[in-house]
Structure 1
Amino acid sequence: MTIDADAADMPDPALPPGPAVAHRQPLHQRAAAELVGTAALVAVVVGSGIQATELTKDVALQLLANSTATVFGLGVLIALLGPVSGAHFNPVVTLADWWTGRRTPHGLTGRDIAAYVPAQIAGAILGAILADAMFGKQLVQWSTHDRSAGHLLLGEVVATAGLVFLIFGLAKKDQLRFAAVAVASYIGAAYWFTSSTSFANPAVAIGRAFTDTFAGIKPSSLPGFVGMELVGGVVGLALVALVFGTERRNRAQAD
C-alpha cells in the first residue's frame, strides 16, 4: 500500500505513499514481499477473529478485537515491507498504481502486475490456512458467511474508494511518511463505519473464503465483493483527480 519506485532520487509521485524506496528491488523479492505481507495480513485478520469469538460472545467486542489487531498488524507490515515492494497487499492498489504511473518511466509494468497479483492472492489463501491451523481448525473449510446483500456491496465500494483516495491523495500531497499510520487507521475506522466491515481488497476477500470463521466470506459472495472493490478503486482514482487535480508533483521538490 505504499510505493514502488525505480529511481534513486525519490519515489514516483503517482504511486501509493509510504517509506521511500531508494532503488527498485528485484521482482522476485518484491513478489515475495507481497506474498508474505498479504499472508501475514490475512493471518492477523482471520486469527484475531477466531481468538475474539473464543474469548467473548459479544459481537461488538469481537469486531473491536478484530479491527484493533488489524490496525496494528497492517501498520507494521506497511512499515516493514513498504521499502521492498511498496506494500500493496491488494490487487486494487496494484492496478491503480499501474494506471497512474503507466506513462512514467518508473511506474509498474504489466510484468510487475503479473507477479504481484498472483502473489497477493496466494499469500491471502496461505494466511487464512495458517490462521486456521494455529487455532486447530480444519485447514480448508469454505465459509458459509453470506455477504451478498446489496448494502454490503455498497459498503465495499465506499471502503475501497476511500482507501484508494487516501493512498493516492497522500502521494499527491507529498505525505508519504504518514502512509503506515494513515492507511492502518483508515482500515480500522472502515471496519466500523462500513456495512461490509471493509474488506476493500480482492485478494483478502478470496483468502477469507477459505475459512468458515468470524472473518470468512461465502465463495458465492466473492464475485459481487471483488467487482464492487474494483468499482471502488475507479471511484477512488476519480476522487483523487477531482480533489487534487491530475497534474503530477514536481519531482525536484522532494529532495
Structure 2
Amino acid sequence: MVIDLNADLGEGFGIWRLGDDLALLDIVTSANVACGFHAGDPVTIRRTCAAAVDRGVSIGAQVSYRDLAHFGRREMDVEPEELCAEVLYQLAAVDGIARAMGGRVSYVKPHGALYNRVCRDKEQATALIDAVADYDPALPVLTLPVSAVHEVAAAAGVPTVSEAFADRAYTAAGALVPRREAGAVIHDVAAVTARARGMALEGSVTAVDGSRVSVSARSLCVHGDTPDAVGLARAVRNDLLAAGVVLQAFA
C-alpha cells in the first residue's frame, strides 16, 4: 500500500505564526501551501516553498475564499467568474514562488469552506476546475471521494486525487462533520493513528453514527494548525510505516 501524507502549511501571516512548518516538512510527503487568501504572506510562502524543495516534499497550492479574518472557514457566495479568477491568481502566485525556489506546484487543494463547498456545489466546483484547466490541466486536484469535483474535473480533462482526513469526523454520507459541531476535529493520538491505519489499509472509517464509510484515498491529511500537530503527524507517520505502508507523494 502506497499513501501520501499531506498537511496544511505556510499559514502564518505577518508577525503571526501558526504551526511548525519546518518540523512538519520532515514528516509529510506533500505540503498544502496557503496562498495568501486565508493565510500566508509572500515571505511565509517563499520560506515554506524553499524548505519543501530542500526536503523533496511535493508542493500544492491551497487555494481559498478571500477570507483572512475567518481563516477561510466562512462559507461565501462568490460569482463563478470571480472565483475562477481568484483561484487562478493564487495558483499562479504560489507556483511562481515555488519555481523561483527550484520547485513547482504539483497539485491544487481547496481550503476550508471552499473545500467543503465544491464537494457539493457543481457551479463552484466548475469555477475551481476552470481555473486549474486555464493554468495547467495536468495539475491534479485533491478532494473527497464523494466530491462533485470528480465529475466536473473529468469533463474538463483535469485529474483528481481522493483524500481522507485522519483527524476529522465523518458523516454517514462520507462528508466531513462541520467544524462548528462538537467532535468534528479529533485530537486523541491513538484514535487518529487507528483511523489513519484503517483508511490506508481498509479504505474505510467509522462515521459519527457508528456506520462504516468508504473513504478509499491516495492521500491522508493531518492538519498543521491543531494542538501538537507535529506529534500527531509523527505518530501517524510512524504507525503507517510500522503497518507496512509506503509513504510517497502522489504528485
Q: Same fold (TM over 0.5)?
A: no
Larger radius of gyration: 1
More strand by share: 2
Q: What TM-score results when the alignment is normalised by the length of structure 1?
A: 0.26
* Larger relative contact order, structure 1 or 2 (CA cutoff 8 Å, min sep 6): 1
Q: What TM-score results when the alignment is normalised by the length of structure 2?
A: 0.26
More helix by share: 1
